[in-house]
Homo-oligomer: A and B are copies of this chain.
């Protein structure tokens, strides 16, 4: 049996207190930190956020924690088939989305439900997708957590890793040539950054002048594979330098640092019509997904060290420092949303299923003849065996 030792993928990373985009690597690219563990401001010169923004980020982080906790249980109870929590990485996702404008396109990997929540996706909407019911915008075709919402400029999640990276470059190029004053943000994990599509996407964005923010959540793991079996260079940030992409490394558990870095990145991407890479150093406190149990590949002490760096706690301390923290309001917010999640869950699981006809729609813009024929045969068959197939209660019956 091979010994497991505690790992620290941030070991060699230095801290800086200045917002500085790097195009050339030093010994190791420093990591931007603006709040210390106590939530104290580390810089007197850096730009700040306003109370409303900070509070909205804070609340959304709470919301996602509530949602994640509840849905992990729901999966354990067999009420949904799958779930994937963002625990520990809420600041990296939510504070970066907060720095965007609503018309910016968001393309994610799968662990970025916080971005969607910040944009205003409702609990009902989350539930409809998670339960694949008749109101699921994906029409029950994708596993839970594959959200997407056109109205919120949130691209539907796709499981194959890394594919959204060159797509985000292309999407942003499209925004540019269409004269939109908008950028595309593309989230992905440090594992996905090993895919060939990462290389293609970053390089193309750099060469073709695409206003894309590439945000890598370096959370130390790709399922069981630790970051040190994923790469040996100076993380993902150092690769950005290689592509000639303006790059910043940020403490992903420091909501303010993430917010400011993303705000700066957006400004540069838009003004200079170029990509920016952000590497957010964080930790996947959650299991990879509800199909995973991390205890067999990492030690408890390691998790505990990172528990102590909880981004939500750090932000709360900061809000207290700023005298922006309202304990009662936060309690009320959480209470309200805990109930809302419970309620919405119950409603969603009672919704009817998608009508069987939808099995052949959206393959093409129009249902072609051969698919219509296949559907007709299927419906005849199911009608002949009404007790052998799940009720498609969305049907007229």
- Measured CB to CB, the residues of A under 8 A from B are 24-27, 194-200, 203, 206-207, 229-234, 238-245
Interface contact A196-B207, CB-CB below 8 Å: no
Of B27, B200, B206, B234, the residue contacting A233 (CB under 8 A) is: B206
CA–CA, A234 and B238, complex, Å: 12
If A203-B231, A240-B242 are given as contacts, then 10 extra A-B residue pairs at C-beta distance below 8 Å, sorted by A number, are A195-B196, A196-B197, A206-B233, A207-B229, A207-B230, A232-B244, A238-B241, A238-B242, A239-B243, A241-B241
Complex contacts, A195 vs chain B, CB 8 Å? 196, 199
**Interface centre among A27, A199, A239, by most B CB within 10 Å?**
A199
- A206 / chain B contacts, CB cutoff of 8 Å: 231-233
Separation of A55 and B369 alpha carbons in the complex (Å)? 72
Task: Indicate how many identical chains form the complex.
Answer: 2
Residues of chain B with a CB closer than 8 A to A243's CB: 231-233, 239
Within 8 Å CB of A234, what residues of B?
Answer: 24, 241-242, 244
Instruction: Point out which of A27, A206, A233, A238 has the most chain B C-beta atoms below 10 A from its C-beta.
Output: A233
Q: With A196-B195, A197-B196 in contact, do A242 and B239 touch (Cβ < 8 Å)? A: yes
Q: Which residue of B lies closest to A28 (CB)?
A: B24
Closest 8 CB pairs of A and B: A196-B196, A233-B244, A199-B199, A242-B242, A239-B242, A232-B244, A238-B242, A233-B243
Tell me which residues across on chain B come within 8 A of A245, comparing CB atoms. 233
A-B contact list, 7 entries, CB within 8 Å? A194-B199, A207-B230, A207-B232, A231-B244, A233-B241, A239-B242, A240-B242
CA distance A196 to B233 in the complex (A): 18
Chain B residues in 8 Å Cβ range of A200: 194, 196
Interfacial chain B residues near A241, Cβ < 8 Å: 25, 233-234, 238, 241-242
Looking at the assembled complex, report how far the CB atom of A353 sits from the nearest CB atom of chain B, in whole angstroms. 39
Q: Select A24's contact among B25, B196, B203, beta carbons within 8 Å.
A: B25
Contacts of A27 in B (CB 8 A): 24
Bound CA span A243–B230, Å: 10
Residues of B within 8 A of A196 (CB): 195-197, 199-200
Contact between A233 and B229 (Cβ–Cβ < 8 Å)? no
Q: Which residue of B lies closest to A166 (CB)?
A: B196
Q: How far is the CA of A199 from the CA of B353 in the complex (A)?
A: 43
Q: Which B-chain residue is minimally distant from A194 (CB atoms)?
A: B203
Choice from B24, B194, B203, B233 contacting A26 with Cβ under 8 Å: B24
